[in-house]
Amino acid sequence: MAKEKGGFAGKVLRVDLSTGKISLDDTVAKYREVLGGTGIGYQVLWEEVPAGTAPFDAGNKIVFATGVLAGTDVPSNGRTAVTTLFPSCWPQPLVASGHMGGHFAAKLKYAGYDALIVEGKADRPVWLFIRDGRVEIRDARASLGHRYPPCHP
């Protein structure tokens, strides 16, 4: 990672399941003022998800984001923040973050991304393929053995 990026890999990966569009944002230009994955997640939800959006609406987003120390030798660096409108809050859904450990944060950072923003709604089960600079939305029905019907809006 370049010193001028301040620990960021430099890119945020956006995947729109409704349109199939895959795009990139510049992390430093857009998220330099926030620290860590939770900050990126909250900024995305604040700026891009309209008030009144329900957790399972296509307008909601789920953000998987790493901190600036992910993928380094610093202790406790392997956390990934998962931020979205949570359906379990009452009486109305609220923006919240959950966190997970493991290798996901380092793998996302080594792939060149500080965050993954998933938006929209697929019309069928899909999965995301990321390898060697390639990003694809792939059909998951074959993996499921056609046990599940297509998703409906």
Please state the domain count of the chain.
1
> 27 in a domain, yes or no?
yes
pTM of the model: 0.87
Q: Which CATH number goes with the domain that contains 84?
A: 3.60.9.10
* Residue 147 within any structural domain of the chain: no
- In whole angstroms, give the CA distance from residue 34 to residue 41: 10
The answer to whether position 62 is within a domain reads yes
42 in a domain, yes or no? yes
Instruction: Give the model confidence (pLDDT) of 66-118 as tens digits.
Output: 988 888 888 878 889 999 998 877 788 889 999 998 899 999 999 999 999 99
Rounded to whole angstroms, the Cα distance separating 150 from 153 reads: 10
Residue 120 · residue 22 · CB < 8 Å: no
Residue 50 counted as domain residue: yes
Instruction: Please name which of 119, 85, 122, 138 lies closest in space to residue 12, comparing C-alpha atoms.
Output: 119
Residue 86 lies in a domain: yes
Is 93 part of a structural domain of the chain? yes
Would you say residue 75 lies in a domain? yes
**Which percentage of the chain shows pLDDT scores above 90?**
60
Its domain, for residue 24, covers 3-122
Q: Which residue has the tokens 């700026």?
A: 47
Q: Are 109 and 66 in contact (CB under 8 A)?
A: yes
What confidence tens digit (pLDDT) does each residue in 4-17 have? 567 788 899 999 99
